[in-house]
Amino acid sequence: MTRHSFIQMSKLSNVKGRISYITSHARQENLYATYRTADNNFWSDLAKECQQEFKRSGADGKCIEARELIIALPEVYTAYEPQQVLEDFTEEFRKRYNVECVSALHHNKKKTNYHIHLIFSERRLLAEPDIKIATRSVFYDETGKRVRTKKEIADENGKIRVGCTVIPKGGVYEQHLFTVKDDRFKSEQFLDEVKRNYTDLINRHISDPEQRLKVFDPDSIYLPTKKIGKNNPKAAEIEADNAARQEWNRTADMALISGIEETKILEIKKEEIHQKASRSIKTNGWLPNLFRNIVSKAKEFLQNLIRQTALPPKPILNMDMAEFRTMQKLMIRVQDRAREIRSLQDEVPKLKAQLAETKGIFKSKERKALEAQIQQIEEKIPAMLEALPEILKDDGYPDVQAFMATYRKAETVVENYKRELAEWERNVKESRRPTEKERYAPPEKQSVRDQLRWLQAEGRQPKSKHRSHDRER
């Protein structure tokens, strides 16, 4: 099953408190390493300036003092020296984005989630403080907002209201130690980039290809599952949500193998899940039960389409290129397994109909036998669906979608070669004088082999398109 990287970003409205929390041995049960690129004074000054800027802006909500990344690491990383791991990951970020960081490496309570907390500043320290001197008196109201005249902060008796401030001429009315916030840190593109970079860094230190991660592609046919954090009060709800998503993912695999075009599956996913979920949220707000119901109905819609679609004929092994024959044999294996699954899926409604017709007090034994048979098949089908991608994974393909895309491209390459070869043979048979360009005919088989090898290598690589079926985000 494809393993996806988990990298999450959050906003921090109390950066000093958060730093204290993630770096404290007293507050963390399994804290292995901490690392800082700047001292406490930097973060204190940063928090102060952010709050001042927020106050001056008059914006609603909470002031964002910094941001935090949570980076989940595969358990294989527990074999590496924690301090070195943490410093490598932190310095990778600091050097790439030129901002200060504080980080910590943790395990959760049950030691099932090995992860890094990386806090970073959106502002950079100025080479020299930017100090603004008042050329005339400057006035601020109770909220910290600058006003034009003294009258605006005076009471009915002409006295300055409590909480208002007057900066006399020649005084410092504004001081900046930091640059303005770098806007790229709040963009989706930034998070996408971080996910790709850190996934690549994680994979660099994993020798086993099966353990390597990929960035989840939101534009794929699959639905991502959600990570369940420690002491999450919604753990049961998330588990139920993940189960619905995994059922859709397994059905999407069956659809691909059954010959349904990827574009059609994406269309169904968009219309039956994304659009309906969006309308549901606008009308009812976010209700997990409603979302699971939407996913379940979309799965049934896709299953009905599969039932109406005949499985493609088995590939005929008449190609003398080993590269393509290997792929054809792999296609036959997954198609055979898909046929077994579909046979079982077709059997269930027949048995249920038989059960409904088996009535009377003398048929209880027969009814129990039918019920047991139905239960056995219904338990067997999900297990077989879950194992379907594993056939392909053994050959290096991360999932069914990657294999099918590679196979279709390879088919096109081979068919083009066959057409070119047939054309060349026809020209030779007709004794037509070849042009200068055609004198090197017949078409080069090695070139086709090279293309097939390149396609296979590409298909076996974990791909990251935009951004996060344990298909976990």
Report DSSP letters for 33-90, one per residue: EEEESS-HHHHHHHHHHHHHHHHHHT-SS----EEEEEEEE-GGGGGS-HHHHHHHHH
Report whether 307 contacts 347 (CB < 8 A).
Answer: no
Helices H / strands E in the chain, number of each: 12, 10
In the chain, which stretches have pLDDT less than 50? 437, 440, 464-473
What pLDDT is stored for residue 128 in this prediction? 86
Distance (Å, rounded) from C-alpha 260 to C-alpha 401? 12
What pLDDT is stored for residue 471 in this prediction? 41
Distance (Å, rounded) from C-alpha 452 to C-alpha 9? 39
Q: Taking the CA of residue 186 as centre, how many other CA atoms within 13 Å lie in the half-sphere pointing to its CB?
A: 10
* Helix, strand and coil percent figures for the chain, each rounded to 5: 55, 15, 30
Q: Write down the CATH number for the domain with range 7-124+182-211.
A: 3.30.930.30
What pLDDT is stored for residue 466 in this prediction? 36
Which pair of structure tokens corresponds to residue 470?
Answer: 């344990």
How many angstroms separate the first and last alpha carbons of the chain? 14
User: What pTM, to 2 d.p., does this model score?
Assistant: 0.55
| Residue 442, preceding peptide bond in cis (omega within 30° of 0) | yes
Distance (Å, rounded) from C-alpha 389 to C-alpha 397? 8
DSSP string over 427-448? HHHTTPPPPTGGGGPSPPHHHH
Measured over the CA atoms of residue 383, residue 388, residue 392 and residue 397, the dihedral's sign is negative
Report whether 337 contacts 291 (CB < 8 A).
Answer: no
Closest to 96 measured CA to CA, from 216, 206, 190, 199: 190
In sequence order, which ranges of 358-399 are alpha helices (DSSP H)? 364-393
Considering the chain, tell me which residue range(s) the CATH 3.30.930.30 domain(s) occupy: 7-124+182-211
What pLDDT is stored for residue 255 in this prediction? 92
Residues 6+ apart with CB under 8 A from 51: 63, 65
Residues 6+ apart with CB under 8 A from 245: 223, 224, 225, 295, 469, 471
Closest to 140 measured CA to CA, from 60, 226, 52, 215: 52
Residue 111 three-state SS: coil
What pLDDT is stored for residue 433 in this prediction? 55
What pLDDT is stored for residue 442 in this prediction? 54
